[in-house]
Amino acid sequence: MSDLIDVQTEAEKAEGLQAWGWVSYVLHLIVAIGAVVPGAQPGAALLIVALLIDLVKKSDAQGSWQASHFEWRIRTVLWAGVLYVLTAPLWLLFFFPGWIAWGLISVWFLYRILRGMVALNQGRALAV
pLDDT given at position 96: 84
Name the pTM for this structure. Answer: 0.86
Q: Which tens digits make up the pLDDT trace of 64-123?
A: 999 999 999 999 999 999 998 999 888 787 778 888 998 899 999 999 999 999 999 999
User: Is 69 part of a structural domain of the chain?
Assistant: yes
Task: Say if CB 17 and CB 66 are below 8 A apart.
Answer: yes
Q: What is the pLDDT of residues 7-65, one digit of tens each?
A: 558 788 889 999 999 999 999 999 988 887 766 666 778 889 999 999 999 999 999 99
| Cα distance between residue 22 and residue 100, in whole Å | 30
Does some domain include residue 127?
no
- Residue 128 belongs to a domain: no
Within 10 A of 76 (CB to CB), how many other CB atoms are there? 21
| 20 in any annotated domain | yes
In a domain, 88, yes or no: yes
Please state the domain count of the chain. Answer: 1
23 is a domain residue: yes
Domain boundaries, position 72 = 2-122
78 in any annotated domain: yes
